Copies of this chain bind each other. A is one copy, B any other.
Amino acid sequence: MKITEITAQPFKYKSRHGRDNEGHGHPGPEIDATQTLVTIKTDEGAEGYMFGAQKSVVDEHVAPIVLGEDPFDREKIWQKLRHMQRIAPSGLTDRLIGVIDVALWDLAGRHLNMPVHKLLGGYREKVLAYASTMVGDEIENGLATPEDYGRFAEWAIKERGYKAFKLHTWQPPIAWAPSVKMDIAACAAVREAVGPDIPLMLDSYHYYNRMDALALGRGLEELDFYWFEEPMDEASMSSYKWLCDQLDIPVIGPETMGGKMFTRAEWIKNGACDLSRSGVGDVGGLSPLMKCAHLAESFNMACEVHGGGPGNLNALGAMGMPGEFYERGLLHPFIDYEEPAQYLNTLFDPMDEEGYVHMPTRAGIGLDINFDYITENLI
């Protein structure tokens, strides 16, 4: 079987997710947003899909590599894309090659009429989700105060049924952010709201210095938090080793630092993390995410998966030393996460009343795509 076509089709959809001028998502008025559908087709009629990727990069850099290849040669294609990253112009990011890899997995699953987590080798049928908030804001009754976080956590745990909760706190361009004191106040309010038995995590400002990170970590220890995520620039592995050496609370990482499984290997080897972290968008696909999980497992370290979506969920279904949680979000009091995006017929990751997201049973990666909507809204 040979790949005969790869397209990236941008289309419009309505969204209430805005972004501040430092790139953080917040609720906002309805806007015309853009999404891109990547489609891979073969001479035998097999098809695979995933969202994301830039059309120009797919056309110029990905198509020449994948056209003519066997779509089941995922490892060959991924290694070629990885090598091309070194010399290609910017745009052939890990996130983008991850979209291609997931689309190839989707094609495999659809062609063989199997969910991808079963192709990988299934481990579990469902995974606990944690509610993962948007970053703090200045919206009244939003996520503007520690009390806002407490109230939202109480709803998430006691009403919606989540079994764990993660805060993203305040960051620039909010004038007074970041603030270790306010971060700890928000975490304390959440702990107070949900009681002592709920696992809580913090993903704070990513450019704190060592002293701030240590002070924040000590505060989280007192609040019995479950993990502490990316307080400092991850390019300095030594800083994380320093932090791990002093804190009892598990430090998790790296998340956004480039270098795929190679970076994860260095962090584990050097004692710079207590939990490993990878997501399809961080490491360039589902295939390398499994490599990262296998690497971590080889050191008895759980790999907690970064972000939601189909690639990450399928990985969580097949990891033998599993990350404990699926990251569901990003959530906000003024966003209805349960409503699927317009280009999907159904929500990809519905959560049951006990706080579990179940593995998709649909062939492929499990997306239920509204192709009509996309066709009608092509740009």
Contact = CB atoms under 8 A, between A and B. Distances in A.
A7 B211 CA distance: 62
A304 to B, nearest CB: 17
A75 B119 contact: no
Contact of A294 (B73, B112, B269, B294): B294
Interface string A3-45: 0000000000000000000000000000000000000000000
Interface residues of A, number: 36
A261 B268 CA distance: 15
Nearest to A72: B118
Nearest to A78: B320
Given A70-B118, A261-B298, A298-B262, A75 B291 contact: no
A76 interface: yes
Nearest to A301: B265
A294 B290 contact: yes
A124 interface: yes
Q: Chain copies in the assembly?
A: 2
Query: Main SS of the interface on chain A?
Result: helix
29 contacts: A70-B122, A72-B118, A72-B121, A73-B118, A73-B121, A74-B122, A75-B120, A75-B121, A75-B122, A75-B319, A76-B123, A78-B121, A79-B123, A79-B320, A108-B119, A112-B114, A121-B287, A261-B294, A262-B299, A262-B300, A264-B298, A269-B269, A291-B294, A291-B297, A291-B298, A292-B298, A294-B294, A294-B295, A295-B298
Interface of A: 70, 72-76, 78-79, 108, 112, 114, 118-124, 261-262, 264-265, 269, 287, 290-292, 294-295, 297-300, 318-320
Given A265-B298, A295-B298, 19 more contacts: A70-B118, A72-B119, A72-B122, A73-B118, A74-B121, A74-B122, A75-B122, A75-B123, A75-B319, A76-B122, A78-B121, A79-B123, A108-B119, A261-B297, A262-B299, A265-B295, A265-B299, A269-B269, A269-B299
